[in-house]
Structure 1
Amino acid sequence: MNGPSKEDQLFQNLKDAGCDGRTVETFFKLRKEGRQKEVLRLLSLHRASLLDQLHVSQQRLDCLDYLIYTMKRERT
């Protein structure tokens, strides 16, 4: 019994990484055309987008942590 195909594994990895349908479609198109440099650029752009989102979330957490800290300090 064979496991998932390479294409299925790539598709699942892209979805797990949060790639939208357009990005997945572009990935497979570029890959099929052998445009490795563009494939890597596409993945790098998605990675940068995820990192930006992470930084925004971190800033929000920092704000919330500060609010919690100040409220606890006022209480004592």
Structure 2
Amino acid sequence: MITNQVAYDKKLLGNKIEETFKEVSSLLRILDTDKTMFIMGEWHAFNDFWSKNADLTEISLEETQERLQQVTDLLERVKNL
């Protein structure tokens, strides 16, 4: 039984963020660096955020949702290179 719905929702979002971020990282590794150079700054900024906040305890559900949207947008941009 779920005792804390917000924590559960954040965990689901965190799992999706992790999965999406790994996909972005994989694509960036195989693409030409000339094409990905302008995206790498965003990737590093998100990587820094994620390394500090992967447990999601210090951020709100709303910010977690925003971060998922941010990494999803980044994935779409990388796929369109």
- TM above 0.5: no
Q: TM-score, normalised by structure 2?
A: 0.39
Q: Relative contact order: is structure 1 or structure 2 higher (C-alpha 8 Å, sep ≥ 6)? A: 2
TM-score using structure 1 length: 0.41
